[in-house]
Amino acid sequence: MNIEVLLTEAEIADEFAESLEARDLPEKFFYWQPASVKAWQEIERTSHESLVPTWAALAGRAADLVKGFAGRVPVISFGAGDGSKDRAILKSLLAAGREVKYFPVDASQNMLEMACAAAEDEDCDVLGIKADISSPMHLMLAADVSEAPRLFLMVGNTLGGFDPLDQIRHVAGCLHAGDILLVDGQIYEQETEYPTAQHENWVFSPLASVGITPEDGGMKFAETADDRWEGLYLLTRRFQTARDLSIRSMGRQIQIARGERIVMNFRFRFTREGFHSLLTRHARLKIVAEIPSADGRYVTAVCTK
């Protein structure tokens, strides 16, 4: 298994301790420890079934999408996770007789290993890239692993785990003429059943990894419209301590007083119109096709420069 490392485990561990000190945990720490990955996969198993028909439909069109690519098709997936959605595309390209090289890009070693191993099982040539896709420099280095034309993927509402106004511009900046980007967004809906116990368990998992227990405080979820862009909604999660805590992480002793808040990862969601205008008006991408999921909870856009 080949994995190129731009972001080391030691850097992630240091950054985790710094983030705890700053009371602000970004998205990448929610897929870092094996317990977080397990909790995430439990959510995926139950809630993302709705995307299966969309991915089957996209996979059916994959060979046609890249028919203008001469020779090998580079598939670069930003925030690939375990690569389960990407594989529908890879399998379809391989079945169409195309030579494929798959580059899953993720901060999570655990996830990358799964994505690489499963692609190898499909006899697909693969190079994992361990990088921080919130860094424009890492994003560019990962994109430049192969020359254009390339098929980029950013799916599973990975975009919504970052500030989408910044992130989509960084991603668009990696695209050259001839490249194709498949990017999806989760549609905003006023849910009553959210957060589920599975979501709470997953969001809590980085705190559990340093010995914090549910009795040490309470988690609050809140969703508001983001005034910066029409059709953009931000779901925030905060843990408020109910007692004084003393945590040890990477040799640091971190004191968190009762009543303090730790900002957990956030999630952006979109209206259909908001997602469309973000890609076109804000990131200056051209949308070739837009595919809503069967249950209307996601929309996937096929974009070019």
Ligand X SMILES: C[S@@+](CC[C@H](N)C(=O)[O-])C[C@H]1O[C@@H](n2cnc3c(N)ncnc32)[C@H](O)[C@@H]1O
Please give the residue ranges that form the binding site for ligand X (CB under 6 A): 27-28, 31, 79-81, 84-85, 106-108, 111, 132-134, 155-158, 161
Omega of the bond leading into 149 within 30 degrees of 0 (cis): yes
Angle of CA points 38, 43, 47, to nearest 5°: 155
Closest residue to ligand X, based on beta-carbon distance: 156
Q: Which is nearer to ligand X, 155 or 279 (CB)?
A: 155
C-alpha span between 148 and 125 (Å, rounded)? 18
Q: How is residue 162 written in tokens?
A: 């970052």
Minimal distance, residue 132 CB to ligand X, in Å: 4
- Distance between CA atoms of 61 and 92, rounded to whole angstroms? 9
Q: Which is nearer to ligand X, 161 or 231 (CB)?
A: 161
Q: Which is nearer to ligand X, 74 or 81 (CB)?
A: 81
Compare residues 158 and 271 and give the one whose CB is closer to ligand X.
Answer: 158
- Least distance to ligand X, CB of residue 215, Å: 28
Q: How far is the CB of 1 from ligand X (least distance, A)?
A: 17
Please state the separation of Cα 75 from the chain's center in Å: 16
CA atoms within 13 A on the CB side of 255: 2
Q: Which is nearer to ligand X, 184 or 216 (CB)?
A: 184
Residue 232 parent element (H or E):
strand 232-241
Coil, helix or strand at residue 261: strand
Type of residue at 104? P
CB of 217 to ligand X, least distance (A): 24
Q: Which residue has the tokens 């999806």?
A: 184
According to DSSP, the β-strands at 252-256 and 217-225 are unpaired
Nearer to ligand X, 124 or 256 (CB): 124
Longest dimension (CA), the chain: 61
Overall residue count recorded for the chain in this entry: 305
Residue 41 to residue 144: CA distance in whole angstroms:
30
Instruction: Give the nearest distance from C-beta 185 to ligand X in angstroms.
Output: 11
The residue among 241 and 300 lying less far from ligand X, judged by its C-beta, is 300
Supply the minimum distance, in Å, between the C-beta of residue 136 and ligand X: 12
Cβ at position 202, least distance to ligand X in Å: 11
